[in-house]
Chains A and B, each alone.
Chain A
Amino acid sequence: MKISVRVLSLTMLVGLFFIPASAQAQTGYSSYSELTNKLKALNNANKNITELTSVAKTKGGKDVWLLTIGSGDVKNHPGIAVIGGSKASHILGTELSLRFAEQLLSTANTEETKALLASTTFYVFPQINPDAATQYFNKLKYERDGNMTSTDADRDGFYDEDGFDDLNGDNFITMMRVADKTGSWTMHKDDPRVMVKADADNGEKGAYKIFSEGRDNDQDGKFNEDGEGGVNINQNFSYDFPYFKSGSSENPVSENETRGVLDFLFEEARNTFAVISFGPENNLSDPLKFNRGDASKRVVSGWLSDDITVNKMVSDLYNDITNLGKAPSGDPQQGDLFQWAYYHYGRFSFSTPGWWTPEVKDEDGKAQKFDNDHVKHLAWAQAEGLDVFAEWTEVDHPDFPNQKVEVGGIKPFTMMTPPANILDSLAESHTDFIMEIASMKPTVELVNFKSESAGKNLTRITVDVYNSGSFPTASQLGQRNNWVRRVMTQIKLGNNMSLISGDIQDFDRSIPADGSVTKTWLIRGSGKVTITSGSPMTGFSTKEQTIK
């Protein structure tokens, strides 16, 4: 990034009037070092039920932390992965994940939590792209999603040669508008601070060109198209990988961060039945809709119908608990974590931004209607007395020598980062939601055990393998995926006993919520019979019986 001398001196001048308070104390959001310290403190205080591990080292030398919470045979209890910061600029996700762990562990001594943790495992990854997330805490703020891997984002053979420049010296990267007849942008009718595309179809004419704030450092006609770093981890997963796009790597799952998380989830956390992530994608306040065409393709690109039903159930629950109202569109992104967790990991995947611009009430207490998210956000901020806008100010721009150039716009992060004073309540409702999901986990129980004489020295044993949870033992798509374990039922017989009929080992792809399958065996001889059933995702249940 090149900052001209003029801009530097401007920054110093502005500095005389603008004395930032301690960013840390004010924001309530945890920087990487605060996050690390808090996780270490949690782990130290709860050694018997937590384990803090680093699943990857970033190029920037930071750890991708994982806090595993649970007791006993944690790899064979149904698990929930809670993941924040796949899109690094969504720093709320890190805070909600961290605070979930904190709130859960603050009740670690209660009988209720002890019982929960003895049968459920939580894998909490609060920040899986720490290199990029740091930008929020830096003096110069912009929404950075790329890690420290140097990339040629515009594929011109040069690396990181055209980043942003803080032209107005306010430490925020916002936008530039350039007065130009040939531009297609104009001011919004309700709030002239907001720039929108002119409605050419209805005779409206544009008067501005819009760029992000900066110089065309490499003089290629594009602005800020190849800044410092990096790979966006939320574009680096294997589902629908965005080849050759800015922020993608050359290859899917190329980054230490991505590989560390995936290796752990595939190899170690086979018990995960749901992945709950925080980010721009949203299937919680608004569940996905079934699309038969997409769901029937060879390369499945729509949720299968049974899984849509589960999504609806979970979404209703989310809205009841969080009461956040209608969210702006939270469409999936190519190469994101959210879609990977469903399509490639075969688990239930739920994602939410966690917060969005709340409704703005008019004098009668009714929600005002807006046709533009930025206008709505500014109206809400005004009502709350929050400063989220950098007013348009004219700058001399060497790339536009004879044109009027103004810098301004909505300040970075403010659209997805709520004020610190509501973090507590947001974290509480999301913790409640995750706890509710935990209470619904698939759980295999062996019930209705029956043994009856079936003739001389012969016993028929029958048992129902029952799923007492509100989730099926595997998603409908997961039933096809070898990484999703089937429910295995095994019978072991004592010496001098033999199996006349029935399977020593039998598998069920999935048992529906509140559903069961019946197993039966014909056994000769007397002695101890041990039946075990389950999968890492449901936990295992064992029944022992002595046959006389």
Chain B
Amino acid sequence: MKKFRYTLLTAFVFGLMIMTSNTAKAQLTDGVFPAAGTPSNPKVEATWNHYYNYQGISELTERIAKAYPDLAKRTSIGKSYEGKDIWMLTVSNFKNGNPDRKPAIYIDGNIHSNEIQGTEMSLYTAWYLTESFGDVKFITELLNDKTFYIVPTINPDAREHYMTEPNTGSSPRSGLKPIDDDGDGLVDEDQPDDLDGNGSITQMRRKNPRGNFRAHPTYPNMMVRVPDDEFGDYEYLGSEGIDNDNDGRINEDRVGYYDPNRDWGWNWQPNHIQGGAHKYPFSLPETRAVMDFVMERPNIAAAQSYHNSGGMILRGPGVAEDISTYNRQDVQVYDAIGEMGERLIPGYRYLVVYDDLYDVFGGELDWFYGVRGVFTYSNELWTSYEMFQSNDRSATDSYEFNKYLLFGDAMQEWTEYDHPQYGKIEIGGFKKNFGRAHPGFLLEQGAHRNMAFTIYHAYHTPKLTIDEISEKNLGGGIREVTAVVTNSRLMPTHASIDVNNNIMPPDIISIEGATVEAGMIVTNRDLNQTTEQKFRPERIEVANIPGMSSVTVRWIISGGNNYTVKVDSQKGGVVSKKK
């Protein structure tokens, strides 16, 4: 008996040990303890305090797709000008329905090639969703219901150029198709030159007792304009460069130049009205690839296009000429989601492009909404608010932040240079990875907060349920079947621009397995007000199922007992319910 007890105890202790070690394996590996909200033991190792180049993007997207074949699929939506694949990850629970028929959000980054962190926001989103599925209930349900089409960079050529070639924080912005900017018959022949060889295009200044700048007393790297009635010690000579083509001008034909975010086919205007426009809408291979993809995915109900910088959550219209395109019901949806964004991402403001920023004809977000009726935001990532988490901002903040938090790493100190046109000058200033791009230690936070906003955005794409199927015998061999379909999220199945122009086909509420004599939409159930649909009554066409609302349809049937009611909505997905 004693022996038996002992054995039992041994077994228990041994079992406890196994259990403990198993539990430990799930919760505490290689010396870490999970922090709330972050995948603690990811299958795909990834770090979020640096930027991925094209090779890095290719590898990471492939690793995610390989690690989670039931959740992520990698495809190329097309080739860039230079022939690089534009990688996309489709993220959804593939075991729960066709991802192309679920309400979806489209996310891209980096349309402006220097605005690099949209790529990391996108990659982080794909990584977080796949790593959290199964562990986090909300994410599991989200991927059961929704699809995320994530394109980390839609300007891969020029992203690489930004990283590997000399640039400022604001260049190239364009893609890499060579353009004759100055009209001399040559293309890209006078670009900025990295005279000091540090990989960044910074500024040139020259000592000049009649100049109008002087060094800041506390932060001598900062140039301050002197009062109008004083002379300073320096003059500014512009971005680092020389007159490469001997035409008497410096840096006048840079890489590119066009603006891919002026290439979209809604209220597109040519370059003399909208600077940066190329030949015609979708005349660039990258934007055309996105357009072709989106045209084939009517299930896309929401979209996010990441830019930098300024801490903004932008919606259209891009120009005052389009004010009437965005009507009240749709603006209410935009406002509800946008205002949540302001809460989730401190320092970011929810704004309207034409009103609060500047005019943009032919921009991406207006095309998504105007041509496809897709609720779309552009987040302008990174704001100087994030440096000291304060709205009390000053021009010296960047210099102070660089000094005390980056320990000078963002700055090229002024150094002397002998310039062929300007003579003795000095070159210096902020490096290209500071000013617009997140500093490393803040990148993961930015990614998580912006992802949280796009998740909220995606969550509020339509979710349809069939709440009720009820039957009433009318006598004489006919019965009345009433079905109630509810959309339990903020977005309608058809934005008002969609309803007004029939962009997407109507939502079809159909009955199968019954002999249908008549069909109608019930506009007021209590007062029995209906609108009959004469043709094809078994499939009732509903123009829209608004957000947080229900529609009611009714059939008069003369046969069938085991019928099924089915809702087929391009943006609301497919649901069905047996009687």
A511 to chain B, nearest CB (A): 15
Cβ–Cβ < 8 Å partners of B370 in chain A: 243
Cβ–Cβ < 8 Å partners of B273 in chain A: 298-300
How many angstroms from the CA of A218 to the CA of B247 in the assembled complex? 66
A487 to chain B, nearest CB (A): 10
Tell me whether A203 is interfacial, beta carbon within 8 Å: no
The reply to whether A485 and B183 contact each other, CB–CB distance below 8 Å, is: yes
Segment 132-177 of A: residues with Cβ below 8 Å from B: 155-157
How many angstroms from the CA of A346 to the CA of B270 in the assembled complex? 10
Output the nearest chain B residue to A220 by Cβ-Cβ distance: B535
A172 to chain B, nearest CB (A): 29
A73 to chain B, nearest CB (A): 12
Cβ–Cβ < 8 Å partners of A481 in chain B: 270-272
Output the nearest chain B residue to A340 by Cβ-Cβ distance: B280
The reply to whether B502 and A251 contact each other, CB–CB distance below 8 Å, is: no
Interface string of B303-341 (1 = CB under 8 A from A): 000000000000000000100000000000000000000
Cβ–Cβ < 8 Å partners of B183 in chain A: 482, 485-486, 488, 507
Output the nearest chain B residue to A238 by Cβ-Cβ distance: B280
How many angstroms from the CA of A299 to the CA of B246 in the assembled complex? 37
The reply to whether A250 and B295 contact each other, CB–CB distance below 8 Å, is: yes
A160 to chain B, nearest CB (A): 15
A158 to chain B, nearest CB (A): 8
How many angstroms from the CA of A507 to the CA of B371 in the assembled complex? 40
Question: Quick one: which of B185, B247, B265, B283 contacts A504, CB cutoff 8 A?
Answer: B247
Cβ–Cβ < 8 Å partners of A244 in chain B: 501-503
Tell me whether B133 is interfacial, beta carbon within 8 Å: no
Number of interface residues of A (CB under 8 A): 38
Output the nearest chain B residue to A482 by Cβ-Cβ distance: B271
Cβ–Cβ < 8 Å partners of B270 in chain A: 238, 343-344, 346, 481, 483
Interface of A is mostly: loop
Tell me whether A262 is interfacial, beta carbon within 8 Å: yes
The reply to whether A251 and B279 contact each other, CB–CB distance below 8 Å, is: no
Do A299 and B248 form a contact, CB below 8 Å, given A344-B280, A483-B271? no
Interface of B is mostly: loop
Cβ–Cβ < 8 Å partners of A254 in chain B: 282
Cβ–Cβ < 8 Å partners of A424 in chain B: none
The reply to whether B505 and A157 contact each other, CB–CB distance below 8 Å, is: yes
Tell me whether B461 is interfacial, beta carbon within 8 Å: no
B177 to chain A, nearest CB (A): 11
How many angstroms from the CA of A298 to the CA of B248 in the assembled complex? 33
Cβ–Cβ < 8 Å partners of B283 in chain A: 253, 262-263
Cβ–Cβ < 8 Å partners of B535 in chain A: 218-220
How many angstroms from the CA of A477 to the CA of B273 in the assembled complex? 11
The reply to whether B502 and A243 contact each other, CB–CB distance below 8 Å, is: no
Tell me whether A528 is interfacial, beta carbon within 8 Å: no
Segment 343-388 of B: residues with Cβ below 8 Å from A: 370-371
Cβ–Cβ < 8 Å partners of B291 in chain A: 251
Cβ–Cβ < 8 Å partners of A263 in chain B: 279, 283
A92 to chain B, nearest CB (A): 27
The reply to whether B321 and A262 contact each other, CB–CB distance below 8 Å, is: no
The reply to whether A251 and B281 contact each other, CB–CB distance below 8 Å, is: yes
The reply to whether A253 and B271 contact each other, CB–CB distance below 8 Å, is: no
Cβ–Cβ < 8 Å partners of B501 in chain A: 155, 243-244
Interface centre among A218, A219, A504 (most CB of B within 10 A): A504
Tell me whether B184 is interfacial, beta carbon within 8 Å: yes
Tell me whether A449 is interfacial, beta carbon within 8 Å: no
Tell me whether B506 is interfacial, beta carbon within 8 Å: yes
Cβ–Cβ < 8 Å partners of A353 in chain B: none
Do A156 and B505 form a contact, CB below 8 Å, given A238-B280, A480-B272? yes
The reply to whether B282 and A251 contact each other, CB–CB distance below 8 Å, is: yes
Interface string of A241-259 (1 = CB under 8 A from B): 1011000001111100001
B185 to chain A, nearest CB (A): 7
Tell me whether B269 is interfacial, beta carbon within 8 Å: yes
B520 to chain A, nearest CB (A): 17
Segment 242-298 of B: residues with Cβ below 8 Å from A: 246-248, 265-266, 268-273, 279-283, 291, 295
A31 to chain B, nearest CB (A): 30
The reply to whether A253 and B281 contact each other, CB–CB distance below 8 Å, is: yes
How many angstroms from the CA of A477 to the CA of B269 in the assembled complex? 14
How many angstroms from the CA of A157 to the CA of B295 in the assembled complex? 14
The reply to whether B503 and A251 contact each other, CB–CB distance below 8 Å, is: no
Tell me whether A266 is interfacial, beta carbon within 8 Å: yes
Segment 477-512 of B: residues with Cβ below 8 Å from A: 501-503, 505-506
Tell me whether A503 is interfacial, beta carbon within 8 Å: yes
Interface string of A469-502 (1 = CB under 8 A from B): 0000000010011110110100000000000000
How many angstroms from the CA of A241 to the CA of B280 in the assembled complex? 12
Interface string of B407-429 (1 = CB under 8 A from A): 00000000000000000000000
Cβ–Cβ < 8 Å partners of A4 in chain B: none
Segment 445-487 of A: residues with Cβ below 8 Å from B: 477, 480-483, 485-486
How many angstroms from the CA of A196 to the CA of B183 in the assembled complex? 55
Do A299 and B321 form a contact, CB below 8 Å, given A155-B502, A243-B501? yes
A312 to chain B, nearest CB (A): 24
The reply to whether B248 and A252 contact each other, CB–CB distance below 8 Å, is: no
How many angstroms from the CA of A238 to the CA of B264 in the assembled complex? 11
Do A505 and B271 form a contact, CB below 8 Å, given A156-B502, A238-B280? no
Interface centre among A299, A488, A507 (most CB of B within 10 A): A299
Segment 289-345 of A: residues with Cβ below 8 Å from B: 298-300, 343-344
Cβ–Cβ < 8 Å partners of A504 in chain B: 246-248
The reply to whether A157 and B247 contact each other, CB–CB distance below 8 Å, is: no
Question: Quick one: which of B184, B268, B503 contacts A505, CB cutoff 8 A?
Answer: B184
Output the nearest chain A residue to B367 by Cβ-Cβ distance: A251
How many angstroms from the CA of A540 to the CA of B506 in the assembled complex? 59
How many angstroms from the CA of A481 to the CA of B283 in the assembled complex? 17
Cβ–Cβ < 8 Å partners of A477 in chain B: 272
The reply to whether A488 and B185 contact each other, CB–CB distance below 8 Å, is: yes
The reply to whether B281 and A505 contact each other, CB–CB distance below 8 Å, is: no
Cβ–Cβ < 8 Å partners of A220 in chain B: 535
B257 to chain A, nearest CB (A): 10
A521 to chain B, nearest CB (A): 12
Cβ–Cβ < 8 Å partners of B502 in chain A: 155-156, 244
Cβ–Cβ < 8 Å partners of B280 in chain A: 238, 252-253, 259, 262, 266, 344
The reply to whether B247 and A238 contact each other, CB–CB distance below 8 Å, is: no
Do A252 and B279 form a contact, CB below 8 Å, given A155-B502, A488-B184, A505-B247? no
Cβ–Cβ < 8 Å partners of A218 in chain B: 535
How many angstroms from the CA of A251 to the CA of B280 in the assembled complex? 11
How many angstroms from the CA of A241 to the CA of B371 in the assembled complex? 12
How many angstroms from the CA of A266 to the CA of B179 in the assembled complex? 12
Cβ–Cβ < 8 Å partners of A485 in chain B: 183
Segment 192-235 of B: residues with Cβ below 8 Å from A: none
Cβ–Cβ < 8 Å partners of B371 in chain A: 243, 250-251
The reply to whether B272 and A252 contact each other, CB–CB distance below 8 Å, is: no
The reply to whether A251 and B248 contact each other, CB–CB distance below 8 Å, is: no
B55 to chain A, nearest CB (A): 32
How many angstroms from the CA of A238 to the CA of B283 in the assembled complex? 11
The reply to whether A238 and B268 contact each other, CB–CB distance below 8 Å, is: yes
Cβ–Cβ < 8 Å partners of A503 in chain B: 248
How many angstroms from the CA of A267 to the CA of B177 in the assembled complex? 12
Cβ–Cβ < 8 Å partners of B265 in chain A: 238, 241, 251-253
A313 to chain B, nearest CB (A): 24
Do A299 and B295 form a contact, CB below 8 Å, given A253-B281, A505-B247? no
The 3 closest A-B pairs by CB, nearest first: A157-B505, A480-B272, A155-B502
Given contacts A238-B281, A262-B279, A486-B183, 15 further A-B contacts (CB under 8 A): A156-B502, A156-B505, A220-B535, A241-B265, A251-B371, A253-B281, A254-B282, A262-B283, A263-B283, A299-B321, A300-B273, A344-B270, A481-B272, A488-B183, A488-B184
Please list the residues of chain B having a beta carbon within 8 angstroms of any beta carbon in chain A.
183-185, 246-248, 265-266, 268-273, 279-283, 291, 295, 321, 370-371, 501-503, 505-506, 535
Query: Can you sample 14 A-B contacts with CB below 8 Å?
Result: A155-B503, A238-B270, A241-B265, A243-B371, A243-B501, A244-B501, A244-B502, A250-B295, A253-B265, A254-B282, A267-B279, A481-B271, A488-B185, A504-B248
